[in-house]
């Protein structure tokens, strides 16, 4: 099993709210993916592929912007919808990790809920851990 498959397996084992995890190249082509068996994808795969292409182009722009300003390098991007969060982060210079995460509002809250937290620190740690072995 290669490192990309390891990342996908570890992420799916780590967090049950991850419905889909995809590794794509910088052109947005899906190379590896893992979908939770009981998960119903809310966006057809064809639309996800289009989003991956846009996201890969956006990453190039974000990296160029990092060279021009004091913000530093981009780490990840989260787009939050009512029912899902879409998370994108670079795995290496040539691949992106895309995740669709359940964002169903939390129950038993006194105030309005805007969905679930995505623990990016742990996700980035998994990616870094797997990358140290390749």
Task: Identify the band that residue 110 occupies on the pLDDT scale cut at 50, 70 and 90.
Answer: low
pLDDT tens digits, residue range 51-87? 999 998 888 888 888 778 788 888 889 988 888 889 9
Task: Give the 3-state DSSP-derived string for the chain, with helices as H, strands as E and coil as C.
Answer: CCHHHHHHHHHHHHCCCEEEEEEEECCCCEEEEEECCCCCCCCCHHHHHHHHHHHHHHHHHHHHHHHHCCCCCCCCEEEECCCEEEEEEEEECCEEEEEEEECCCCCCCCCCCCCCCCCHHHHHHHHHHHHCCC
What's the whole-number mean pLDDT along residues 101-130?
74
Q: Supply the pLDDT for residue 134.
A: 61
Query: What fold, for 3-131?
Result: Beta-Lactamase (3.30.450)
- Answer whether residue 96 shows pLDDT above 90: yes
CA distance 34 to 100: 11
Widest CA span of the chain, in angstroms?
Answer: 46
What are the residue boundaries of the structural domains of the chain, listed by start?
3-131
Tokens of 71: 């913000």
- Cα(50)–Cα(7) distance, rounded to whole angstroms? 23
Q: Distance between CA atoms of 30 and 116, rounded to whole angstroms?
A: 26
Q: Extract the tokens encoding 70.
A: 């004091």
Convert the pLDDT of each residue in 18-64 to its tens digit.
999 999 998 889 999 999 888 887 888 888 889 999 998 888 888 88
Residue 3 has pLDDT above 80, yes or no: yes
pLDDT at 13 over 70: yes
């Amino acid at each position: 099993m290669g490192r990309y498959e390891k990342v996908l397996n570890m992420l799916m084992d780590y967090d049950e709210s991850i419905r889909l995890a995809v590794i794509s190249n910088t052109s947005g082509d899906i190379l590896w993916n893992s979908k939770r068996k009981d998960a119903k994808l809310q966006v057809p795969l064809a639309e996800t592929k289009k989003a991956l292409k846009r996201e890969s182009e956006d990453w190039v722009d974000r990296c160029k912007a990092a060279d021009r300003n004091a913000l530093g390098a981009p780490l990840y991007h989260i787009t939050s919808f009512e029912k899902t969060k879409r998370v994108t982060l670079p795995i290496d210079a040539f691949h992106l990790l895309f995740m669709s995460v359940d964002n169903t509002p939390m129950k038993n809250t006194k105030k309005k809920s805007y969905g679930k937290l995505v623990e990016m620190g742990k996700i980035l740690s998994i990616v870094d851990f797997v990358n140290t072995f390749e």
